[in-house]
A and B are shown apart, each in its own frame.
Chain A
Amino acid sequence: MNIVAFANQKGGVGKTTTAVTLADGLARLGYRTLLMDLDPQGHVAFSLGLEKSPGLYRLICLEEKLEKVVIQARPNLDVVCSDKHTEKVKRQITLSDFRESIILDALQSTRYDYVLMDMAPSLDVLHINGLVASDWVIIPTRLDAMAVDGVKEILLTMGEVAQRGYSFKGYAILPTFFDRTTRETLAQFQEIIRAFGSSVWPPVPQDTRVRESSAYGKTLEEYTSNSPAMVGFQDGQRLVGGYRQAMQKLLEMTYAK
């Protein structure tokens, strides 16, 4: 089982879209996939055309079994949804013993090939729980100074988590909303490549159809499978970036270890 967290302390960088799109992609490839929403906004359910529900609350606070709280969103794709009750989960975790590893413990006996966790843009007990449970962290980021600062912050937090004995197998930085025509994009792209080198994945282009797809409750593959966000942008003869390439990178990263 590979547990992958999608995190950036800056909001609006494409965490939920990335988590939903890659979870959908893994499920389509036949991997048994669980997508957990750790964000009280509950937008994973929204993106998949489901009603928000207190799945995470039932799992952690009511101690129901995972099989009871998951909702099958698509073939091979189960979801633990969130809603405003997730705020209560944080309070519950704060009062618990061994509070860092509650999610990790809840996932121990599951039989999924991949568990993907969409994290909230915050630094609270739930966030730490998600990082502790993860083998891999994918950090989506816009190429602006504040989002790139969020990348640094999450890496610092990961360092602290690793120091407590919960190590990671690796991480990747996924530039999102990529608009290659602006100087600021280039400056920030150079910055993250200088700092993180091979951990930077090919970017996902800015694409307004991403917003449309979530409005319809469809995944990108269902709504607009040939859009730039999925297939990348034309760079000379080839297509560069996009979620299909990110999918390949995810498989390569997790297979390699």
Chain B
Amino acid sequence: MPNKPLERRPILDPVVADLLAGMEQKQAESQLPRRVREKKIRERQKIRARRDQRVTYDLPPFLRQRVKELAEEHSVPASQLVTLALMRFFEAYDLDQIDLRELKQPSRSPRYDWNLIFPEKYFPNDEKKKPKK
């Protein structure tokens, strides 16, 4: 059987994709029986209540892995480990033990003026050799 030809999928703006998914979900839910719909609403309210605690940042994969492994080793939630790490960072920052100016390089992005360039010592050896994408 011949292989199905590859189809190029349009890559949506992530904001547009999220918005569309949310609208489609709401419309699909409006067709459900009342009890299921009420359950979904309760679930959504629970998620909404947690929203202030949630945020998404891009991290290097090795850091994500490190957090996961340490959380498993100590059997604690990964979020609490990250909270601790950030608290320690801000403590050090407030005591002038961390100087962001040393890491700043001009950015060509229209959105940001600077990028932080991290010293190689922070990266594991196999990450250092990876070519920049």
Tell me the complex Cα distance, A43–B108, Å. Answer: 36
Q: Which of B11-19, B90-98, B114-122, B124-132 contacts A (4 or more CB under 8 A)?
A: B11-19
Q: Which of A89-97, A131-139, A148-156, A192-200 contacts B (4 or more CB under 8 A)?
A: A192-200
- Asked if B20 and A240 sit within 8 Å, CB to CB, the answer is no
- Asked if A240 and B27 sit within 8 Å, CB to CB, the answer is no
B54 at the interface (CB under 8 A from A): yes
Tell me the complex Cα distance, A252–B22, Å. Answer: 25
Residues of A within 8 A of B110 (CB): 248, 251-252, 255
- Asked if A198 and B19 sit within 8 Å, CB to CB, the answer is no
Residues of B within 8 A of A183 (CB): 27
Interface size on A, residues (CB 8 A): 25
- Asked if B27 and A198 sit within 8 Å, CB to CB, the answer is no
- Asked if A200 and B13 sit within 8 Å, CB to CB, the answer is yes
Please report whether the interface of chain A is mostly helix, strand, loop or mixed according to DSSP: helix
- Asked if A197 and B23 sit within 8 Å, CB to CB, the answer is no
Interface readout for A74-102 with B: 1 if CB under 8 Å, 0 if not? 00000000000000000000000000000
Tell me the complex Cα distance, A180–B22, Å. Answer: 10
User: A235-B18, A248-B111 are contacts. A202–B23 as well, Cβ < 8 Å?
Assistant: no
Interface size on B, residues (CB 8 A): 20
User: A201-B16, A237-B54 are contacts. A186–B27 as well, Cβ < 8 Å?
Assistant: yes
Question: Interface centre among A201, A237, A249, A252, by most B CB within 10 Å?
Answer: A237
- CB nearest to A248 among chain B residues: B111
- CB nearest to A180 among chain B residues: B23
- Asked if A202 and B20 sit within 8 Å, CB to CB, the answer is no
The A-contacting residues of B in range 1-33, CB under 8 angstroms, are 10-13, 15-16, 18-20, 22-24, 27
- Asked if A236 and B20 sit within 8 Å, CB to CB, the answer is no
B48 at the interface (CB under 8 A from A): yes
User: A186-B23, A248-B111, A255-B110 are contacts. A240–B13 as well, Cβ < 8 Å?
Assistant: no
Contact of A236 among B16, B24, B51, B111 (CB under 8 A): B51
Could you tell me which A residues sit within 8 Å of B by CB distance?
180, 183, 185-186, 189-190, 193, 196-198, 200-203, 235-237, 240-241, 245, 248-249, 251-252, 255
List of 8 A-B pairs having minimum Cβ-Cβ separation, nearest first = A197-B10, A251-B110, A202-B15, A237-B51, A186-B23, A198-B11, A255-B110, A200-B16
